[in-house]
Amino acid sequence: MLKVAISIQSLQRQASNSNLTFPASVLIRQGLSFLTNLLLARTLLPDEYATYVTYYNFSVYIVLAANFGFSEYMLVKSNQQNTIERYLAFFLSLSVSIFTIAFATITMVDSSPLYYLVLTKVFLETIIPELLLPWYQKTANFKKLTTINFAFSVLSTGMLILLFFFEIPLTLFLTGSIIVSIVVTAQQLYNILKKSDVAAIPTGFSLISSDLINYGLNYVTIPVYMRLVPFLVVILLKGKEVAEFNLAFTISSAALILSMSKIKIILPKLIEDSQPFNVALKSISSISAVNLGILILFIISGKPIIHLAFGETYDNLYILTVLLLVANFLQSISGILAAVLVAKKFQKQKLKIQIEVIVTFAIAATLLIMVLGIYGAILAVVLMYIQVIIRTAFTLNNLGFISFSSLRNTKE
């Protein structure tokens, strides 16, 4: 019993020490991704950048099936039969197989090499890290993950230098970025797979059940509704408007990096805590303060920075970004509340909310964009997250996770 207590205290200390270093490493890594989009928007013509954005948005949806809720399933089930250690190799193999099938299908539909490169880059930079994340979360080994993020950032910086100073072609830049991801991922896989049960890969098919399917549908529907509006903008608008909105969306998304990092850190706490809503409220307070600081900073300095970077090319970019930064408050709150449902294994309730949002706003956002154009897209984002917050809060209340006593205790 004493050893268990000491172990828990050790994990808590590691998690506490990672509260700054891990988000900082994620901030730098995602910040470089954000900087990549800025440099591409600066070096490419608006129509060329719009083409890249279109391929990127389609790629995000295509690779979703390659992590069909596997990462969340492994983490939440981590205390049952050593799920992560035993089945990580199976889920990695399944993910790569799904991606290979998707890639082969795309080659028969679209012959653009640019599309292939963007699709591969999205898979390596998003899906693989997500599948490996539960391994680090279970042991609170964010120190190792922080080192990996910094290594990736250093190598990616080299590619950005080539892009900015030598103006290398887009296809060459994407190829180099893919090589960077392969180098970093290969080192991770070597160290992790040595400790996982590779021999258990054939037995992993026994995990395919309605429970796993619920996690998968939840995982797939999250990016669908989060990127629903940018996707509709790509379809309904053209050229400069597509480039301008997606650039503003990219800037505002970069401001959410700290929020997303915080959610990844508190998820294990939400799983263990008997009163997860108290943990959620504290996180909402701290993240809202960060979002407010970012909004004020951008209001003050955003316009001259945008003018310096892009001149008069994107004349609506400043106001679009300010409005999306306001929407970030709502997105952060909705993300934290949703994490409570994930932690307590209420996947069906969470899935129901997400499907409602997708159906409602696929129609509403389409109408708003058609009538109000790019500003209709902004309004759709705001209204969408308001609906998510209200529905999730009511669901948590019905499940008994929200009460007036818990709110008073948190304030005290």
pLDDT recorded at residue 1: 31
Our CA angle for 114, 115, 116, nearest 5°, is: 90
- Report the pLDDT value the prediction gives residue 83, as an integer from 0 to 100: 64
Residue 3 confidence class, pLDDT cut points 50, 70, 90: very low
Q: What is the dihedral of CA 29, 34, 38, 39, to 10 degrees?
A: 20
Task: Assign 402 a pLDDT band (cuts: 50, 70, 90).
Answer: low
The answer to whether residue 175 scores a pLDDT higher than 90 is yes
CA-wise closest residue to 251 among 214, 297, 209, 284:
297
Residue 117: which pLDDT band, with cuts at 50, 70 and 90? very high
**What are the pLDDT digits (tens) for 70-92?**
777 777 766 655 666 667 778 88
pLDDT at 11: 37
Rounded average pLDDT over 232-241: 86
Per-residue model confidence as pLDDT tens digits over 291-310? 888 899 999 999 998 888 78
Mean pLDDT is highest, among 131-140, 220-229, 350-359, for 350-359
Task: Identify which has the larger pLDDT, 293 or 26.
Answer: 293
Domain coordinates in residue numbering, the chain: 17-208, 236-412
Task: Give the best-scoring range by mean pLDDT among 65-74, 172-181, 270-279, 287-296.
Answer: 172-181
Lowest mean pLDDT among 84-98, 189-203, 375-389: 189-203
